[in-house]
Structure 1
């Protein structure tokens, strides 16, 4: 309950700040939508030159992309940790965070939340509805519940990977450049893994499991054959919990190593 109250207080402060600079808010929203729109256009352009991609139709790939946007929007809203090393390690704000009773990671997450990213999740839902209608898919109450479970699992996958990367800042004196590389790798999760070779499929499934933030969970709703790996979708919450738990342990160990910003 205390964290819900903290969330509400931080959200009110965020809203006050954004209402002061409304133009910046809408520019950020528009830029995010344009970026996601370009990715969607790229998929459509690809299918101008081929009828299928690894056995997937255009509507199926667009459906996967729509799903991909939902957990990514939620992740970007609550786990915007891109400037952690610069702000909290180099500039010493971690000292301030550690003097407060709430868990340090929760404070950092709340201080950096980015609600406009939720609009991307909404657009993802719209894309799924449109492409799902083209595929003749129907969603019942149990499907909605399963969707929520899989999305939570996908968000935890994102969180686990990026929290672990962020925690490297506790062990290194300089900001790491791994996050931009990982950001590029995550985009592989929105395409059918069958188009990659066995090594890349293994990495995207079990080492850096970005296949569980897009193609695997989305395939659960496509009523596709076994070649689409829809059965792996059920592992999404498990993979998310495993990676998020491991990342939290790694983070807590890093915090214990932190000695402050003083010389």
Structure 2
């Protein structure tokens, strides 16, 4: 309850600061929507040249992209730690964080939240609804709970991978280009893994499991029974990778000795 209370206090203060600059907030939301629209147009352009992509039709690929947007929006809202090394290690702000009686990772997540990114959830649901209607999909009552579990699992996979990368800063305070590269690799999870080489498919499933953020869980709702095992494993993968990230974080904090000069 203590952490829940802290979360709402952080969220309240964040909303106050964003509403103080309403035009800037609106422009940022519109730019995110434009970026998502560009990716959707890219899919439409590809299917203007072919009717199938690895056995998947246009509306199925659009549905996968829509599903991907939902966990990605949760990740983007609460796990913006791409500049952790430079801001908290190099500039020494980690010292400030460690003086407070709240877990350091929780504090940094709260400080870096961007709640306007949650509009991506609405966009994803709209895209899924459009594609699902074209495909004539039917859903059971329990699919809502499975959807929530898979979305949370996908968001935790993203969080686990990028938090783990951020912890490198505890062992090396030099700037690294791993984070931007990983963002680029994560884009592969938006599309069916069977269109890639088997090595890439293995990496996207077990090493950097971005496929569990998009295609695997979405395959369940698309009635792709051969993918069901992967789909139901999504929440488990999320817990595993997030637990690894927290372990690495706690180990890194113990090693941290301050900014120095």
Give the TM-score taking structure 1 as reference length.
0.97
Once residues 248 and 175 of structure 1 are traced to their aligned partners in structure 2, the CA distance between those partners, rounded to angstroms, is 22
Alignment of 1:177-196 (within 5 A): 177-196=177-196
2:239 aligned with 1:215: no
CA RMSD of aligned residues (A): 0.9
Equivalents in 1 of 2:10, 2:175: separation in Å? 26
Report the CA distance between 1:253 and its aligned residue. Answer: 0.7
Long gaps (5+) in structure 1: none
- Out of 242, 249, 252, which is 1:251 matched to? 249
Equivalence for 1:173: 173
Shift of 1:69: 0.1
1:132 is displaced (CA, Å) by 0.6
> Which residue in the other structure is 2:234 paired with?
236
Q: Render the CA deviation track for 1:134-167: whole Å, top value 9, x for unaligned.
A: 1111223200010001011101100110000111
* Structure 2: unaligned runs, 5 residues or longer: none
CA distance in 2, matches of 1:225, 1:20: 49
Does structure 2 conserve the Cα–Cα contact (< 8 Å) formed by 1:157 and 1:213?
yes
**CA shift digits 1:52-73 (9 cap, x unpaired):** 1100010000000000000000
Q: Distance in 1 between matches of 2:225 and 2:110?
A: 41
Three-state SS of the structure 1 residue aligned to 2:53 is: coil
Task: Give the structure 2 partner of residue 126 of structure 1.
Answer: 126
* Deviation of the 1:85 alpha carbon: 1.2
Counterpart residue number, 2:115: 115
Q: Distance in 1 between matches of 2:141 and 2:93?
A: 45
Alignment partner, residue 60 of structure 2: 60
Matches within 5 A, 1:3-152: 3-152=3-152
2:258 is aligned to 260
Partner of 1:153: 153
**Do 1:156 and 1:244's aligned partners in 2 also have CA atoms closer than 8 Å?**
yes
My pick for the range that moved more, 169-178 or 28-37, is 169-178
Q: How many angstroms apart in 1 are the aligned matches of 2:224 and 2:259?
A: 54
Q: Tell me, what secondary structure is at the counterpart of 1:141?
A: coil
Tell me, in whole angstroms, the C-alpha distance in 1 between the residues paired with 2:192 and 2:248: 31
Q: Distance in 2 between matches of 1:141 and 1:224?
A: 19
Mean Cα deviation higher: 81-90 or 147-156: 81-90
How far apart, CA to CA, are the structure 2 residues paired with 1:125 and 1:153? Answer: 17
- Residues 101-148 of structure 1 show CA distances to partners (whole Å, capped at 9, x for unaligned) of 110000000011000110011100111111111111122320001000
| 2-structure distance, mates of 1:35, 1:197 | 27
Residue 225 (structure 1) shift: 4.7
Match of 1:244, SS? helix
State the alpha-carbon separation in 1 of the partners of residues 230 and 90 from structure 2: 41
Aligned partners of 1:220 and 1:231 also within 8 Å: no
Contact 1:168/1:176 (8 A) holds in 2 = no
Q: TM-score, normalised by structure 2?
A: 0.98
| Structure 1 outlier segments of 4+, above 6 Å | none
> Quick one: distance in 2 between partners of 1:100 and 1:78?
20
Shift of residue 198 of structure 1?
Answer: 0.7
Separation (CA, whole Å) in 1 of partners of 2:93 and 2:151? 32
